[in-house]
Amino acid sequence: MKNLLPILVCLFMFACKEQKEAKSSEAVSVEATDTPQQWLTFEGSDKNAKHIVLISGDEEYRSEESMPQLAKILSKHHGFNCTVLFAQDPAHPGVIDANYVKNIPGLEALDSADLMIIATRFRALPDDQMKHIDDYLMAGKPVIGLRTATHAFNFKEEDVSSYKHYGNGYKGDKEDWNGGFGRLVLGENWVSHHGHHKHQSTKGFVAEAGKASGITNSIADGDVWASADVYEVRLPMVEDAQPIIYGKVMNRKGEYDENDMFYGMRPTDDEAAKTNNSGKDVSAPLMPVAWTKTYQIPGGKKGKAFTSTAFSAVDFTIEGTRRLVVNAVYWTLDLPVPPKTNVELVGAYNPTTYEFRKDEYWDQKQLKVSDFK
């Protein structure tokens, strides 16, 4: 019996240790499960594939819906590694709130990015987040700006920020930054709606520069269409900006329908508008709705930029509009643009209408980042 006692003690201690380790492992597992997912990653063909960071965060055109779908297309069909970021209230991490303009977690992903695709609107991000964007641009890495990216940032006078010069329409001591990020990097900031919002659509016509660049490979006149109306840009455009697609303002043939995702407009609408709702002549000259440009922020290296204002989540259901953006990805990355890029939708894609939504909508919706996996 004496000889058995030490053995029994050892067995008891071993059992206690195993139980403790099991509880510890279970706690780690629960903790990992309870950590909300604040961004999405989609793996491409291999770990050495180009890394694309897609930044959503606009109150109107549903980039929180379009950017995950774009990332899935780029990852599954083209082999790119993609990271998708979303606007969120820090008090509710992992829950998308497009109206919250002061936080987009995960921007450190730009430190290893080969391409930034941005579709934000009037953001006022904190300095520690803006620094990742600034460092990226300083390095002269490529940029794609979509729709409201022309007015991606906006800082109020009372905001404490080292990056106020990024704000839309900036006019300050840093003269090179007049017009903000949109004007300096993309080639234009917010000017106005050229077409009648929700009543006149955009039909794209290919410019010669588009054919030469390869960005319009397998895109014919009319293939690029957007129910989101034409934005105005100032002509002639800045510096070396080259129009790729011109946008003709088209009248809606059918009845206005607020429950329809295109508000009653259709790609088949064939009547070119002469004026918008303010009586302004929109027939000529046609506004560029997609263009390329070289950018260089003060102290930084030169980089390539592509911008398309013909874009919203519902417009991304149009094959030609998708192809324009995917082709631009190849162009900005200095890769040969395929003769016909695969832009087939991946999984379910059910975008909702572009519109402003009240804060209460986002509080009640509780739309999670993980919902877009």
Beta strands across the sheet bearing 287-295: 39-42, 81-85, 51-55, 115-118, 143-146, 303-308, 287-295, 242-251, 200-206, 225-226
Residue with tokens 């980042």: 369
pTM score of the predicted model: 0.91
17 is written with which tokens?
């240790």
Which H or E run includes 1?
none
CB 312 within 8 A of CB 62: yes
Is residue 349 scored above 50 in pLDDT?
Answer: yes
For residue 285, say if its preceding peptide bond is cis, omega within 30 degrees of 0.
yes
- pLDDT tens-digit readout, 41-80: 999 988 899 999 999 999 999 999 999 999 999 999 999 9
Q: How confident is the model at residue 278 (pLDDT cuts 50, 70, 90)?
A: very high
Whether the per-residue pLDDT at 133 is higher than 90: the answer is yes
Neighbouring CB atoms inside 10 A of 70's CB total: 29
What confidence score (pLDDT) does residue 46 get? Answer: 87
Share of the chain above pLDDT 70, in %: 91
Would you state the structure tokens that stand for residue 66, as one six-digit string?
């379009």
